[in-house]
């Protein structure tokens, strides 16, 4: 029963989120706490020695941040909401589940885990810069004020869990080992958070009426293209360093819960359709990769 639930958890989350979107929308304040809890459990697997940035990591980071700025500037003349959605799909950090998928596919878990950690911590510092420049808060306050407002909101969610995990390792190693061995809890927290954010996106889209369907279809299509390109270029870059699988997962598999939360909080909420669809595309890509790997073996 457990294996069945885990296998179809994405589908279950989507069905529940769409079916009960009105009821779930009231739970949106819980999303930051779920994110922090997920990251804390994941960070308990990491040591300081795991944070070893390499040339490979720096190239991926430059694509993550440089690419997000370029794609926003390229799409902004056509539509601001589309530009915001595309930017967030590239800007957001690597998913904490990426090392697990990398291991299933036969790649380096350590390399992917290092980049996932570096990516999530760096987003806490750089995402406020991007969001304060283009976000809705920038319309009413200065960039500096907007930056610190966003930074104070994002930093505790992304950095505090890491510091707490390190502190727990030093002060209570027994408890730390128990948390470290309970990584499956992070998986279920992800499912709960995903259900809520899908409910929020569905509720917002429904409130917009019929006037935005064309834009929503374009957002879904653009997020698909960005998803495929990030997996493709991640694998291409990774192949140069002998890390084809790790490169694809590091660049392509995104922390979409974080992306949707940032979009709904600081950007045009309609742009959340982009990362909302990205979670579907990346799971389809990973499902196909896992199926191909199992068939090959």
Q: What tens digit of pLDDT does each residue of 102-138 get?
A: 877 888 877 887 888 888 888 888 888 888 787 654 4
- Residue 249: per-residue pLDDT: 93
Stretch among 45-54, 179-188, 212-221 having the lowest mean pLDDT: 45-54
Domain 2-296 fold: Na+/H+ antiporter like fold (1.20.1530)
Q: Which of 89, 168, 158 is nearest to 124 (CA)?
A: 158
Q: Where are the domains of the chain?
A: 2-296
Query: With pLDDT > 70 as the criterion, what percentage of the chain qualifies?
Result: 85
Measured distance CA(1)–CA(139) in Å, rounded: 50
- 171 compared with 1, residue with greater pLDDT: 171
Q: What tens digit of pLDDT does each residue of 38-47 get?
A: 888 877 877 7
Q: Which of 247, 293, 268 is nearest to 119 (CA)?
A: 247
Measured distance CA(150)–CA(128) in Å, rounded: 5
Q: What tens digit of pLDDT does each residue of 231-273 get?
A: 999 999 999 999 999 999 999 999 888 888 888 888 888 888 8
Are 268 and 81 in contact, with CB atoms under 8 Å apart?
yes
Measured distance CA(223)–CA(217) in Å, rounded: 10
DSSP readout, 245-297?
HHHHHHHHSB-HHHHHHHHHHHS-GGGGHHHHHHHHHHHHHHHHHHHHHHHH-
pLDDT confidence tier of residue 21, bands split at 50, 70 and 90 = confident
What are the percentages of helix, strand and coil residues in the chain, rounded to 5? 85, 0, 15
- Residue 140: per-residue pLDDT: 45
Does pLDDT of 275 surpass 80?
A: yes
**Backbone angles phi and psi of 94, in degrees to 5:** -70, 145
287: left (phi over 0), alpha (psi -120 to 50) or beta: alpha
69 burial (CB, 10 Å; 0-12 / 13-18 / 19+) is middle
- Residue 132: per-residue pLDDT: 79
């Amino acid at each position: 029963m457990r294996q069945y639930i885990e296998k179809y958890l994405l589908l279950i989350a989507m069905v529940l989120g769409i079916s009960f979107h009105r009821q779930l929308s009231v739970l949106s304040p819980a999303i930051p706490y779920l994110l922090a809890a997920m990251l804390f459990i994941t960070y308990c697997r990491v040591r300081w020695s795991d944070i070893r940035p390499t040339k490979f990591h720096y190239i991926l980071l430059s694509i993550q941040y440089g690419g997000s700025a370029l794609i926003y500037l390229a799409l902004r003349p056509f539509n601001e909401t589309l530009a915001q959605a595309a930017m967030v799909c590239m800007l957001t950090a690597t998913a904490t589940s990426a090392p697990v998928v990398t291991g299933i596919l036969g790649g380096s878990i350590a390399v992917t885990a290092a980049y996932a950690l570096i990516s999530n911590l760096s987003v806490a510092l750089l995402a406020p810069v991007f969001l304060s420049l283009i976000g809705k808060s920038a319309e009413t306050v200065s960039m500096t004020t907007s930056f610190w407002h966003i930074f104070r909101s994002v930093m505790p969610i992304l950095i505090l869990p890491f510091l707490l995990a390190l502190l727990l390792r030093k002060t209570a190693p027994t408890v730390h080992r128990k948390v470290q061995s309970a990584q499956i809890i992070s998986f279920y927290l992800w499912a709960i958070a995903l259900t809520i954010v899908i409910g929020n996106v569905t509720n917002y889209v429904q409130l917009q009426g019929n006037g935005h369907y064309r834009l929503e279809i374009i957002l879904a299509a653009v997020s698909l293209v960005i998803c495929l390109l990030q997996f493709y270029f991640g694998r291409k870059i990774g192949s140069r360093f002998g890390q084809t699988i790790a490169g694809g997962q590091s660049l392509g598999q995104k922390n979409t819960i974080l992306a949707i939360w940032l979009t709904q909080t600081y950007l045009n909420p309609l742009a959340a359709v982009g990362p909302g669809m990205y979670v579907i595309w990346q799971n389809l890509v990973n499902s196909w990769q896992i199926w191909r790997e199992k068939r090959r073996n």
